[in-house]
Structure 1
Amino acid sequence: MSPATSPEDAVRRYLQWLEDPASLVDDDAVARAEAAVAGAADPLARLHALADLEHAREADADAVTEDFVAHAKGYADAESIPVAALQASGVPDDVLRRAGFEVGGRRRRSAGGSRRSGGASRAPKVSIEELKAATLRLPKQFTLADVASEAGGGSPQTVRKAVDEMIADGKARNLGPKQDHHGRGRAPTLYELV
């Protein structure tokens, strides 16, 4: 498990990862790995440096998820955050169960005891039009996570597509990274209604 400094950091990092997996990539580690690749004279050293570069370019999803599982229930209880709010933020039900939340709709196993394949559960389905309508109910400046929360679900890709369409239609604009971001990882992108 990666060392989250607090339960709040663990929850924040996981929600950032859900919104934008690349936001948790350590840019300094990538730069160091790129320098190692450039400076590798031996072919085997270059191979290892390239492997390190590939690892540095990917967020450690397992560690981020395990930190969330370890801290989310205590944080949510302390901050009076209902499980529905976490679901609306896109946290899959199976992750919430692992974190100790009671989530309805658990599927029963078949007589053979096998599990349905397919991985994690999905965020509640929300159409692009519903996401656009939810965006218009938000304050003038917002993030993609704000849109998903207001709409009650939606995959990160669908939320991003809805906002991109609003930008193309001249109803919103991209302001770039949120300036007052103090958490780990890349700051979420801030958007503004026009």
Structure 2
Amino acid sequence: MVSPGQKVVLITGCSSGIGLRMAVMLAKDEQKRYHVIATMRDLKRKDKLVEAAGDAYGKTLSLAVLDVCSDESVKQCINGIKDRHVDVLINNAGIGLVGPVESIPIEEMKKVFETNVFGVIRMIKEVMPDMKKRRGGHIIVVSSVMGLQGVVFNDVYAASKFAMEGFCESLAVQLLKFNVTLSMIEPGPGAHRV
């Protein structure tokens, strides 16, 4: 339940890594400024998050099923939030792919782009109109340092992150007149293991 004055923060990809840590950190904010909706494709993977959240679970942290690769799942998740009100969207869900490009099937490459690019776009498209109407909000995209510089055998992953760099740079300017901020975080190696 969201308390008056709390910002609603929706985070994708919270079953592990950066998403899990961000959800717990914000939910345990001593001033209780945030109500975190931590999402994941499969709630069977919630145990680490629930354990890390401790007393915050059920108070300042709630869980929701969300598959960023599914239009229906995204719509259901957002429609399940009171008044569709999301103050902060943190696009964290992502997948990697390592190997020589000639050995990777195109279908595997498409999965990376579906999650890392179209999953982010799908989420933004769903919350952005409401943020624009309210004339406020913050969209955060967790990218990678590989969106700035490619790394050997990470060609497809780097390409997906470069795509998000261009998308976000363009969209950020358009959102300014609606008082909606778009930020990008580009963690370096090993950050996903946080």
Pairwise TM-score range, normalised by the shorter structure: under 0.3
Higher radius of gyration, 1 or 2: 1
> TM-score, normalized by length of structure 1?
0.25
Indicate the structure with greater strand content: 2
